């Protein structure tokens, strides 16, 4: 059994709760500490109930709460080996475990794939418990065959749908920031997410959480519609063959269950 609850998702911060029958894992802790603790309390959990924090990369929107969290609670932190030293500088009483291969947290096996992002190192993750598989890929400027294969056998995925390209191009960001976001080492657009979903047609993926939306250069309708149209173009009807959610920056009540 796996239950996935996006708590906070977007350019201002990211944190996802993944629960099995035995363990609770946070994927990233990049939002206000108090807000994360509050969201966990709404789900009957305290920080001490979290068995591991798994970090995707070193950007603040993914690790902002780590200093405060690890000062209060010595939850083990897992981060890509290549940035373990950087993460260790942001952590107080927790051990930082460098990730190189698969590892286990209780009854959950965690594997990773390489993302392409303007960070020192960025990983997407897959959480496997028995036959249940959830994969998360955000913060990548493009999707490779390796990433597609990584996502393909999951029943539920969280996929970045960061921006609408036209909104970004016409928006107020500086030229350099626009180029950064649009680059192959930036963030996935709605169209790139849609193309990814088309390529995943015929795979195990049935539940899709669109994530890491930009508040300035996207909106939920655009992201959702692009994904729905992509699935429809492959004969998959939203609500029947696939279910698509759009994660919110501030308030998420959705929990995806696999069992």
In the complex, which residues of this chain contact Zn ion (CB under 5 A)? 59, 61, 139
Using alpha carbons only, how large is the chain's radius of gyration in Å? Answer: 17
Is 9 or 20 the residue whose CB approaches Zn ion more closely? Answer: 9
Work out how close the CB of 51 gets to Zn ion at its nearest, in angstroms, rounded to a whole number.
23
Q: C-beta of 218: minimal distance to Zn ion in Å?
A: 14
Q: Which is nearer to Zn ion, 62 or 242 (CB)?
A: 62
Count of CB atoms situated within 10 Å of the CB of 153? 13
Measured at the alpha carbon of residue 4, what is the angle toward residues 183 and 98, in degrees to the nearest 5? 60
* Nearest approach, Cβ of residue 85 and Zn ion (Å): 18
Nearer to Zn ion, 132 or 139 (CB): 139
Nearer to Zn ion, 61 or 132 (CB): 61
| Cβ neighbours for 133, distance < 8 A, ≥ 6 positions apart | 2, 126, 127, 153, 154, 155, 156, 204, 258
**What is the nearest approach in angstroms of Zn ion to the Cβ of residue 121?**
11
d(CA 75, CA 168): 38
> Between the CA of residue 172 and those of 118, 139, 166, what are the distances in Å?
21, 21, 12
């Amino acid at each position: 059994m796996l239950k996935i609850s996006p708590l906070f998702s977007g350019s201002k911060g990211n944190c996802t709760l993944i629960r099995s029958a035995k363990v609770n894992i946070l994927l990233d802790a990049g939002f206000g500490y108090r807000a994360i603790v509050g969201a966990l309390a709404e789900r009957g959990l305290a920080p001490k109930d979290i068995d591991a924090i798994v970090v995707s990369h070193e950007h603040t929107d993914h690790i902002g709460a780590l200093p405060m969290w690890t000062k209060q609670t010595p939850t083990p932190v897992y981060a890509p080996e290549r940035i373990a030293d950087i993460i260790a500088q942001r952590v107080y009483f927790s051990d930082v475990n460098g990730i190189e291969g698969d590892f286990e947290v209780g009854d959950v096996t965690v594997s990773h794939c390489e993302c392409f992002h303007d960070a020192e190192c960025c990983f997407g993750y897959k959480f496997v418990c028995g036959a249940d598989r959830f994969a998360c890929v955000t913060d990548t400027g493009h999707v490779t065959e390796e990433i597609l294969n990584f996502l393909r056998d999951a029943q539920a995925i969280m996929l970045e749908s960061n921006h609408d390209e036209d909104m970004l191009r016409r928006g107020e960001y500086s030229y350099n920031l626009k180029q950064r976001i649009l680059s192959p080492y930036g963030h996935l657009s709605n169209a790139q997410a849609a193309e990814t979903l088309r390529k995943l047609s015929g795979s195990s993926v049935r539940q899709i959480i669109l994530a890491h939306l930009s508040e300035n250069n996207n909106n939920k309708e655009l992201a959702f519609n692009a994904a729905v149209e992509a699935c429809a173009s492959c004969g998959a009807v939203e609500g029947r063959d696939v279910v698509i959610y759009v994660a919110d920056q501030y308030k998420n009540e959705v929990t995806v269950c696999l069992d």
